[in-house]
Every structure is written in structure tokens, then in C-alpha cells.
């Protein structure tokens, strides 16, 4: 059985057939994706399903991973923060280190391709060190909100862009003017991955018991890296505002380590300090492969929070909606594309706002359930991997045939 | 004479940010005057491919933005009534939009602004259509096909068809009019006010119409 056949159960036979028909137009193309880690974070999760599915659709796709030192990842974490607008102070030697690691990797990685997708800033200078005839097209895929970046970081990264034929951002609000076309492709989830597939009631209960969570009491959940932009302290504050009204309420903050995120440990310590001795408040540091545990937690929550103050697309929101949970989301980034007031949850601007909306949803059970169903339907239509693949193929076809008007292929 | 089978097409959008956004009405007017045609096409004609909920007050992005972000219900209503399918060209649509916005701006003492975070980010799109390989031989088979077709195909065969035919017809009724027994169905399809429906609603309306004409023959 082919991998894609399994998705027929979710999106239907004809949707998969359409994907084959569209991909036929790109058959045999050699496509390489490059990022900086195989584990942890949304990009690695996307590439894990995208590569085999592209291969099955007749595209010669592969995945290359940058190798760096701890110092390199410290610098690229600063790039990440800087792109999201946090002031960072990097020295010339930091930029030189990044440049040099890109040079080394360009020699090591297999980058012979018709199209190379470079994900995020870590490998952005690879084209600089790759022979011109080796790659047909370079495309930079920026998963981060780059609309208001730190000036120094942007100047350094922008200098790499003339080598690229196009860029991809998750939404228009994440872009800033660059010289090449800026395509818009939101990310997506894999509905059959361990994190999103249906699980048995027995497994769900076993997971809760193992993680010391009471399955009979209502539980709020935020799943995210321990990162200040995810505002875990604000989530705790919202929970504490609710606790007097719902004494049985539990809060779970679940996060995992990412190989390229050295700040995580520091934020985790702050969260643990802030959580104190409350037995109903669990801070879980889960391994990066604990996908089924995350799945069980999301299915067990009555409401899922993603109270970020800056956010990329927010795939944890997509995952929660897919499990039929209304989401209380910070009004930023891709969360605003997914959380629609009174339809799939509520956008909030403060811990008080989060507490208020959760109280509302706990009062009106029927509304909570209806919003959950809306969320599931919404993700099925717009944020599954089939749509994501279709967008990539459409973009490449559009670049292949640059006539100005509508295109029939 | 045998009727050629119906060719089922699907489509997808290649969307591009143009690196420009509007935060007040004057900027919107300036944008409408100067942006490429593909931007007006996207925000006025291709919204159904992005919509999901039955919650939108207006059928195009410009009207929605004026309603939600600028808080100008008068202009929103006027822009909501601009029907791009009645215009024969994007130049004509542009001219109508400029006239509508300029007229509203003319009588204003203060320019309406949106709050930070509510800017209109301008997007251009290009429609990439592709033959699905499916050929529909009979009206009865078309009914079965419409039932399971993607909403994107529906957009191509209804909304895009109207543009291709100068606002005259959708592809379904154009094909069905070759069958003598489908005249009422053809009239019914052309009477659907599709501009005010999201694609799911349109899908249901077409299916209901087919249901009322269950006599459609299986052979030409």
C-alpha cells in the first residue's frame, strides 16, 4: 500500500487523485530541502512527511541537514529571535562563524537539484558557496515572522537573498519587501502522524495516568517549546485567575527540547519557579519523540491555549483544532489565520482575556463542542499536508511558466 | 450529433505578497489605482477559494477590510455591492473601485485608519488550472461528479467560467444546453447568485437544483 493511499481515508480518494494529476507536471524533478535539524521544531516535522510523499508523487526529493557547532546554534537562535523582532547583539565573529559553517556545509551536502528549498536562516548562505550550474533554482522558505526584524540581523540575512529566485512565507503579514517574488504557503499537519492520528481510549487514559494527570478533572493545555515568545508565565497567570471558579481545574504545560534552542533550559527554570508547589499544575519536559503523549494530552484537554506574543504559524494550534478542541490563542502571527472568534476559539490579548474566554467556554459546553467541530472541519479543508503539497507544486509550476496571466497546465 | 464529454478541471492559486499594505483609506485608494491587476483579481474575485465559514459580511476583501478594520460600514456596503463579474475587464473593475472609494473619501473630514495589526496586506495571485483527466459523458454522470468534486473545481467551472464568458455562463450550463431536456436546469444554474455564496453553499445550491431535475437523461 502506498503512503498516499492511507490519506484517502482522511481527504477522500479524489483529492489524492488530483494531487497525482498535478504532480505529473513535475515528474522527475530533483528537489532538495535543507534545514538545520532532523528533530524538534515544526520544520523537521513537516519535512519528515513531505519528502516521502513527494517521492511517491514522482518527484526526486531528498532532505539534507546542516551540521553546526553549539556556538553556531547560539548564533542562529539569535537570528531567530532577531527576525521575530527581539533586539540581539551579535558580533562580527558571530556572523563570520555562520558564514563559515555555511561554506563547510555547502561542500559536504548533496545539493545537485532542479530546486533547492532552504528552510529558515541557518542555511541561508549555501547558494553563495555552491557552483552556479549545480542548482536550477534556490528558494528560501522563511517559517518565521520577519516583518519587523532586528536591523543588524536582517541586513546580514538580506545580503544572501539575491542568490534566490523566490522566497516563501507563511502569510503576507510575515513578509518584508525583498527583490524576488514572495510566495505565500501556510504550513500544515500530517493527520496520520503519531501526533495527529486517532488513538484508543485506553492509550489516552494510560498516558494521563503515566503523566500523573487526573482524567476525570478538566484540563487546560499549552504545548510549546519553553520560549518567552510563547508566554508560559501568562498561561499560568490565566490558570490562577480561573482556579477560584473551577477548583478542579488542572493545567499542563508540555514542551520538549529542540537541538537548536539553547535558551529553552533557562525559560524552563523560570516556569518551574513560577509554578511553585501547585499539584494541579504540571510542567512536562517531554522527549522530542513523545508525539503520542502530546496527541493524548491534546485529545484530553477541554481547551487548548497558545498564548504566544510572537508566533510563526503556530502548528500546535492546527494540531489542537484537528482534535476538535477550541483554542485560546494570542492575537499574533499565524494564530490569527486559524483562530476565529466564536468559530474555532478566541483570540486574546492578555492573561485576563484568556481566563475570561476559558470561563465562557467552560460555562457553555455546547458552544465549546461546536467550536471544536468547526476547528476540525477548518483544518481538514485548509491545513492538511495535501493542501501544502498542492501549494508547493503550484508555486514551482508558476515559476516554470512565468507568463503573466492565469495558467492552464 | 454526439456531444463531447465535459472536461473536469481543478485549480490552485499561487499567491504572492507584493510587500505593500494599507493602514488607511487614502492608502487603499492609492493602492487600487496602482497595484497590478493580479492584486485586484485576488482581493475581488478569488476570495471564495480562501473562505470557510458562513460568517463573512461581504463577498470581497476590500469591503471586509473597510467594515472590520476601518470601521466604515457605508463604504463596506458600497464595495460589497461592486460585482466584479459584471465588469468586462479588470480596468473597468479598477475604475469602479476608484470611483467608489474616491467618492467616500471626498466627503470625509478625517481619514479613517485601522489599528496596528489590522492592516490590509496586499496579495497577488495566479490561478494554475489543470486537467484532472476525468471526462463526463452524460448529464447524469455530471450530477454524480459535482457531488464529489473539489470546491476548487467548482470555483473554476463557475466563477472562472463567468470571467471567461464575459459574465454570461458557467461551464456546467454551457455544456448542458447541448441537451434538449436540460433547458430548465440550464436556466436555473444561470440564475444562481453565486457571488454571495461561499463555495460550500454554492455546492449545496447546485446539488439541490440537480435534485429538482432528477429527470436529466443519461444519454444525449
- Cross-chain CB nearest to B17 (options A169, A397, A409): A169
| Residue B219 resides in a domain | no
Whole-angstrom Cα distance, residue A117 to residue B114?
Answer: 36
- Cross-chain CB nearest to A172 (options B121, B129, B132): B121
Tell whether B114 and B167 lie within a shared domain.
no
The x, y and z cell numbers of residue A86, run together, are 527581539
Tell me the pLDDT of chain A (409 aa) as tens digits: 788 999 999 999 999 999 999 999 999 999 999 999 998 777 888 999 999 999 999 999 999 999 999 999 999 999 999 998 889 999 999 999 999 999 999 999 999 999 999 999 999 999 999 999 999 999 999 998 899 999 999 999 999 999 999 999 999 999 999 999 999 999 999 999 999 999 999 999 999 999 999 999 999 999 998 988 899 999 999 999 999 999 999 999 999 765 556 678 889 999 999 999 999 999 999 998 899 999 999 999 999 999 998 888 888 999 999 999 999 999 888 898 899 999 999 999 999 999 999 999 999 999 999 999 999 999 998 999 999 999 999 999 999 988 767 777 7
* CB spacing of B148 vs A12 below 8 angstroms: yes
Number of domains in chain B: 2
DSSP A350-408: SHHHHHHHHHHHHH-HHHHHHHHHHHHHHHHHHSBHHHHHHHHHHHHHHHHS--SS-EE
Contact A82, A56 (CB under 8 A): no
Torsion, Cα of A126, A78, A314, A226 (10° steps)? 130
Tell whether A62 and A181 lie within a shared domain.
yes
- Cross-chain CB nearest to A184 (options B15, B38, B129): B15
| Helix, strand, coil content of chain B in percent (nearest 5) | 55, 15, 30
- The stretches in chain B having pLDDT less than 70 are 1, 52-56, 214-220
Tell whether A296 and A271 lie within a shared domain.
yes
Whole-angstrom Cα distance, residue A64 to residue A110?
Answer: 7
Tell whether B169 and B111 lie within a shared domain.
no
**Closest alpha carbon to B208 in B181, B188, B184, B179:** B188
Sign of CA dihedral B211, B215, B219, B220: negative
The ipTM is: 0.93
The x, y and z cell numbers of residue B145, run together, are 461528479
* CB spacing of B126 vs A340 below 8 angstroms: no
The x, y and z cell numbers of residue A332, run together, are 499574533
Tell whether A322 and A388 lie within a shared domain.
no
* CB spacing of B130 vs A175 below 8 angstroms: no
Tell whether B25 and B118 lie within a shared domain.
yes
Collect contacts of A236-241 with beta carbons under 8 A, ≥24 apart: A236/A271, A236/A274, A236/A275, A236/A281, A237/A351, A238/A305, A238/A307, A238/A351, A238/A352, A238/A354, A238/A355, A238/A358, A239/A281, A239/A355, A241/A351, A241/A352, A241/A355
Tell whether A139 and A220 lie within a shared domain.
no
Tell whether A290 and A353 lie within a shared domain.
yes
Q: Which of residues 376-405 of A touch B (CB under 8 A)?
A: 377-378, 381-382, 390-391, 393-395, 397-398, 404-405
CATH assignment of the domain containing A236: 3.40.50.2000
Q: What are the angstrom distances between the C-alpha of A406 and each of A10, A100, B11, B145, B165?
A: 30, 43, 10, 25, 15
**Closest alpha carbon to B10 in B166, B178, B130, B163:** B130
Whole-angstrom Cα distance, residue A73 to residue A122?
Answer: 8
Tell whether A98 and A55 lie within a shared domain.
yes
Q: Given the C-alpha cell 528533530, which residue does it identify?
A: A39
| Residue A153 resides in a domain | yes
* CB spacing of B15 vs A183 below 8 angstroms: yes
Residues of B with CB under 8 A from a CB of A: 9-10, 12-21, 38, 52-53, 55, 117, 119, 121-123, 126-133, 148-151, 160
Number of domains in chain A: 2
* CB spacing of B19 vs A382 below 8 angstroms: no
* CB spacing of B10 vs A18 below 8 angstroms: yes
| Residue B220 resides in a domain | no
Task: Report pLDDT for B220.
Answer: 45
Side-chain-side CA neighbours of A82 within 13 Å: the count stands at 21
A374 at interface of B, judged by CB pairs closer than 8 A: yes
Domain residues for B159? 6-11+133-212
Tell whether B138 and B114 lie within a shared domain.
no
The string of pLDDT tens digits covering residues A146-165 is 999 999 999 999 999 999 99
Q: What is the pTM for the complete model shown? A: 0.89
| Residue A406 resides in a domain | no
Domain residues for A22? 3-188+384-400
| Residue A407 resides in a domain | no
* CB spacing of A390 vs B149 below 8 angstroms: no
Amino acid at each position: 500500500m502506498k503512503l498516499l493511499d492511507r490519506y484517502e481515508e482522511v481527504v477522500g480518494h479524489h483529492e489524492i487523485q488530483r494531487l497525482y494529476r498535478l504532480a505529473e507536471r513535475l515528474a522527475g524533478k530533483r528537489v532538495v530541502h535543507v534545514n538545520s535539524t532532523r528533530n524538534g521544531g515544526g520544520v523537521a516535522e513537516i519535512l519528515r512527511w513531505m519528502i516521502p510523499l513527494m517521492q511517491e508523487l514522482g518527484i526526486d526529493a531528498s532532505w539534507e541537514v546542516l551540521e553546526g557547532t553549539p556556538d553556531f546554534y547560539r548564533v542562529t537562535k539569535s537570528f531567530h529571535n532577531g527576525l521575530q523582532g527581539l533586539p540581539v547583539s551579535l558580533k562580527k565573529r558571530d556572523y563570520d562563524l555562520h558564514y563559515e559553517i555555511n561554506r563547510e556545509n555547502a561542500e559536504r551536502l548533496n545539493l545537485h537539484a532542479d530546486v533547492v528549498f532552504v528552510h529558515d536562516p541557518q542555511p541561508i548562505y549555501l547558494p553563495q558557496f555552491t557552483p552556479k550550474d549545480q542548482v536550477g533554482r534556490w528558494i528560501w522558505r522563511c517559517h518565521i515572522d520577519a516583518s519587523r526584524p532586528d536591523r543588524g540581523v536582517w541586513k546580514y540575512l538580506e545580503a544572501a537573498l539575491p542568490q534566490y529566485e523566490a522566497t516563501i512565507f507563511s502569510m503576507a503579514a510575515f513578509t518584508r519587501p525583498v527583490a524576488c517574488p514572495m510566495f505565500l504557503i501556510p504550513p500544515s499537519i500530517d493527520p496520520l502522524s503519531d501526533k495527529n492520528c486517532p488513538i484508543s481510549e485506553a492509550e489516552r487514559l494510560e498516558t494521563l495516568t503515566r503523566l500523573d494527570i487526573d482524567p476525570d478533572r478538566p484540563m487546560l493545555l499549552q504545548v510549546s517549546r519553553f520560549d518567552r515568545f510563547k508566554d508560559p508565565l501568562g498561561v499560568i497567570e490565566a490558570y490562577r485567575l480561573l482556579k477560584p471558579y473551577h477548583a478542579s481545574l488542572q493545567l499542563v504545560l508540555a514542551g520538549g527540547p529542540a537541538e537548536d534552542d539553547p535558551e529553552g533550559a533557562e525559560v524552563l527554570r523560570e516556569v518551574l519557579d513560577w509554578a511553585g508547589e501547585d499539584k494541579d499544575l504540571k510542567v512536562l519536559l517531554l522527549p522530542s519523540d513523545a508525539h503520542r503523549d502530546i496527541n493524548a494530552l491534546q485529545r484530553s484537554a477541554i481547551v487548548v491555549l497558545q498564548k504566544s506574543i510572537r508566533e510563526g504559524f503556530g502548528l500546535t494550534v492546527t494540531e489542537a483544532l484537528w482534535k476538535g478542541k477550541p483554542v485560546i490563542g494570542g492575537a499574533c502571527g499565524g494564530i490569527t489565520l486559524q483562530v476565529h472568534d466564536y468559530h474555532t476559539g478566541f483570540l486574546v490579548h492578555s492573561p485576563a482575556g484568556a481566563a475570561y474566554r476559558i470561563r465562557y467556554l467552560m460555562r457553555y459546553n455546547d458552544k465549546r463542542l461546536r467550536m471544536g467541530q468547526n476547528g476540525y472541519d477548518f483544518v481538514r479543508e485548509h491545513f492538511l499536508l495535501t493542501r501544502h503539497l498542492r501549494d508547493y507544486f503550484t508555486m514551482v509550476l508558476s515559476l516554470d511558466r512565468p507568463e503573466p496571466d492565469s495558467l492552464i497546465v | 450529433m454526439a456531444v463531447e464529454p465535459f472536461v473536469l478541471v481543478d485549480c490552485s492559486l499561487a499567491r504572492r505578497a507584493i510587500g505593500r499594505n494599507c493602514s488607511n483609506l487614502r492608502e487603499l485608494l492609492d493602492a487600487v489605482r496602482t497595484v497590478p491587476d493580479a492584486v485586484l483579481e485576488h482581493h475581488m474575485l478569488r476570495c471564495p477559494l480562501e473562505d470557510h465559514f458562513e460568517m463573512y459580511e461581504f463577498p470581497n476583501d476590500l469591503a471586509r477590510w473597510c467594515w472590520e478594520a476601518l470601521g466604515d460600514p457605508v463604504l463596506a456596503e458600497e464595495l460589497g455591492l461592486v460585482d466584479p463579474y459584471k465588469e468586462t475587464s479588470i480596468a473597468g473593475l479598477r475604475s469602479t473601485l476608484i470611483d467608489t472609494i474616491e467618492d467616500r473619501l471626498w466627503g470625509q473630514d478625517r481619514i479613517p485608519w485601522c489599528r496596528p495589526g489590522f492592516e490590509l496586506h496586499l496579495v497577488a495571485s495566479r490561478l494554475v488550472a489543470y486537467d484532472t483527466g476525468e471526462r463526463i459523458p452524460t448529464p447524469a454522470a455530471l450530477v454524480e461528479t459535482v457531488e464529489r468534486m473539489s470546491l476548487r473545481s467548482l470555483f473554476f467551472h463557475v466563477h472562472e467560467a463567468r470571467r471567461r464568458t464575459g459574465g454570461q455562463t458557467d461551464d456546467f450550463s454551457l455544456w448542458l444546453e447541448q441537451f434538449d431536456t436540460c433547458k430548465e436546469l440550464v436556466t436555473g444554474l444561470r440564475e444562481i447568485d453565486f457571488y454571495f455564496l461561499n463555495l460550500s453553499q454554492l455546492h449545496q445550491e447546485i446539488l439541490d437544483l440537480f435534485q429538482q431535475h432528477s429527470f436529466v437523461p443519461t444519454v444525449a
